[in-house]
Structure 1
Amino acid sequence: MTTVRAEKVLEQVEAALAERQHLLPTHLAAREVASRIARCYHDLADGTSGFWIARARWAAADGRPTGRALYEVLRADGRVGVWDALTLDEGELIADTLTKLSL
């Protein structure tokens, strides 16, 4: 079952990224990023559970360079996933966007 909230994720994420377009890399495909986030929401959530960022930390294990931000993503049902951002700035921006959407 997909809720109205889940159906609007793509539009919400895309709008949030558009508001911060001046902070994003020049050629970032915001629509594609929003689409990927929405697909993850639909495919990995039950339609009622949202995602939000629990914490960010620097990764130095499992072959990741120390300068990469690693985010633990906590689902409303308690399951934890891991999100490896391309850069700290990109990760912070996306984390901020998703956190605001979950409130």
Structure 2
Amino acid sequence: MKYKTGPMKIRTKIISLVLLNFLLVLGLFIATLSVIMVHREYDETGQNALAIAKTVAGLPEVIKAFNEPDPSHKIQPIAENIREKTGAKFIVVSNMSLIR
């Protein structure tokens, strides 16, 4: 079977350009949506971490523990409990002198 190879019909050109335009707009839409979703997830994770940090810093047990000779002995179980409940990968507790 032989196919005709000649100039493209105007209808074929228009359909091809419309399809190409549609695919380009769809690609840009998906890329923009992906960037927005990643940015929102990043912000949400940061806000979550900040809330956990403020909560841990305000606990009276943590504040009292830094006045003791071995604060990690009391702080570690508290931090581990909070880490498990919140799903955080880690929690670091330190004082203003950066002693953990």
Q: Settle same-fold status: TM greater than 0.5.
A: no
TM-score, normalization: structure 1? Answer: 0.30
TM-score by length of 2: 0.31
Q: Which has the larger radius of gyration?
A: 2
Instruction: Name the structure with the higher strand share.
Output: 1
Decide which structure has greater helix share.
Answer: 2
